Every structure is written in C-alpha cells, then in structure tokens.
Amino acid sequence: MRKASFQHLCGMPNFIQNRWEKFKAQSAIAKMWDVLFLVLIIAFLFPEGRDTMRRAILSTGIVGSVDANSDEALTYESEAWILQDLNGAEVQLTELKGQAIFLNFWATWCGPCKAEMPSIEALYKDMGDEVNFLIVSYEDPEVIRNFMNEEVYDFPVFFPRNGIPDQLSAEALPTTLVIDVEGKIIHRSSGMSNWDSESARDLLRSALKQS
C-alpha cells in the first residue's frame, strides 16, 4: 500500500507536466474558457465569492429572462390568498384587483435569491409607487427582519397566512411572477434574474397597461 502511494506521488509531477503541455497546445479561446472555469470553481468555494460571482453573472444579462412569457388569469383561489407583512398588517390579493403586482418567493439561505436582491431593491425604488411588490418568505419573521436591517433593503416582505394557491406555488427559489392590472400572470420565472434593467422596467410598464 505504501509503495503504491509513493509511486502515485512520484507520478504527480509527470501528470501536471502532461496537463500543462495539453493546456499550452490549446487555442487562445480554449485557454480562456479553462481559466474562466477555474476562477469560477475557486470563487464558489467561498461564500463571499459565490455571492460576488452570482452578482457578476447577473450584470452580464445572460441569465434569467425578464420578458413577458405568460397569459394566465388569476383563479379565485389565488385572489383569496392572504399575506402578512413584518408589521402584522394583512393583505388579500383580491384587495389588489386592478393593480400590478411583482411577486417574488425567496429565502435568506438561498444564494441566488440574495444575489438578485440588490436588483429587486433598485426596481422597487424605481417603480414601487406604481407596482405592488410582494416579496414573500416562509422563514421566521425575526430572521427576515435581521436580514433586512443588515442589508438595508426597503422593499416590503410578506409571509403567507394561509396555504399558497397551486397557481402561484414556487417549485424553486427564487421564483418571480408579474401580474398585470387585468389580473393576468404575464411573467413567471425560476432562478436569479437581473431586475435592475430596462427590460424589467418595460415588463412592469406593460403590467400597468390595459389591453
């Protein structure tokens, strides 16, 4: 066993040399992708690196389409859904009839959720007076309150008071839905997106328009 291990270790320099020769023989583009892949692997080994890298990926605009991709009317079950904010105030979706809604499901332990939060905050500051932002979590309110204070976010967070309707259920986090003034779901997506973009603002502007 020791002899095999020693031979294995002795062979490591040859292995590294062979890999290096193969790397040098690659095209410039192939080398670039190899280096980028290595940087991504290293970054994702550390929590701070993961968040930074996710936000960097968001800034490229290559993930998470924010285009209109649905045309589904809210059901009565969905309209009856009740939410409660951090101050204990309740709101039922039926009370928001005729108003546009940005609905996002998230959690503090969800890396992609946290990565897109700054862009949601920017969108809220820009269009929060026109669109209802319902940022929904199932976590303990105190956990959310502490997170919001630490990150200095102002968007409103809500907690379900009754079971989530099947139509609005989130199979993954984050999940985002945009509901227009006519009560139709015009956008549904899972995964992080860049909401601080002109495409996102155009989506919300379309949610504010009557057809």
CA–CA distance, 96 with 93 (Å, rounded to integer):
5
Residue 134 clears pLDDT 60, i.e. is over it:
yes
Residue 108 clears pLDDT 70, i.e. is over it:
yes
pLDDT in tens, 172-198: 999 999 999 999 999 999 988 899 999
**Which among 58, 74, 113, 178 is annotated as catalytic?**
113
Pick the CATH number of 72-207 from 3.20.20.10, 3.40.630.30, 3.90.870.10, 3.40.30.10: 3.40.30.10
Instruction: Report the run of H or E that residue 203 belongs to, with start and end.
Output: helix 198-207
Domain ranges of the chain: 2-43, 72-207
Catalytic (active site) residue 113:
yes
* pLDDT, average across residues 100-125: 95
Catalytic (active site) residue 110:
yes
CA–CA distance, 81 with 93 (Å, rounded to integer):
6
**Which among 110, 122, 164, 181 is annotated as catalytic?**
110
pTM, whole model, 2 decimals? Answer: 0.72
